Amino acid sequence: MYPIIRLAIALFLIWTGLVVILGRGFHLNTEPGTILLESEGRTIAARSGEYSSVLASGTFEIEEPNEGEGLILEINAVFGVATVHVPRDVPFQVTASSAFGSVVTPDDTSTFFGERAYASKGYSEASSFIRIKASAVFGTVQIIGD
């Protein structure tokens, strides 16, 4: 009985490794804003909410907020890479938090450990704005905007 179970576990681990190495990735039932175990990268259109890249590479295209509306997003990279594209001419603020990873803001400043805040020109919560909380744990979040 035990050799059959060990064989099944070994075959499953080999299959998992081949799928990850060949770049086909997994398409598991995850939250809509989560990219999990994908090496080819995927692009997600983002509105307010939480988005994560876990053991994967992903791009998050933030949609432009409606007039007078604010978008609040949380972007996480755990052992992965998350690239965030902010629309032009929309003021935004980034609160970067990192532990053994990096969060790169549009002024090319990196946060490797700890927290840092960044605000684009004209950022004010009185008009249309985007607020991003970016967290990286053994991963990278890159914010592209301005």
Residue by residue, DSSP assigns 82-95 as: EEEEPPTT--EEEE
What pLDDT does 142 receive?
92
For the whole model, what pTM was predicted?
Answer: 0.70
pLDDT of 71 strictly over 70: yes
DSSP designation for 96: E
Rounded-to-10 torsion of CA 85, 91, 97, 98? 30
In a domain, 109, yes or no: yes
Q: Specify which of 19-28, 41-50, 90-99 reaches the highest per-range mean pLDDT.
A: 90-99
Beta-bridge mates of residue 51: 75
Expressed as residue numbers, the domain containing 122 is: 25-144
In a domain, 79, yes or no: yes
pLDDT of 32 strictly over 80: no
DSSP designation for 18: H
What pLDDT does 29 receive?
47
pLDDT of 68 strictly over 80: no
Q: How confident is the model at residue 109 (pLDDT cuts 50, 70, 90)?
A: confident
In a domain, 19, yes or no: no
In a domain, 20, yes or no: no
User: What's the mean pLDDT in 114-135?
Assistant: 81
C-beta separation of 91 from 130 below 8 A: yes
User: What's the mean pLDDT in 72-101?
Assistant: 87
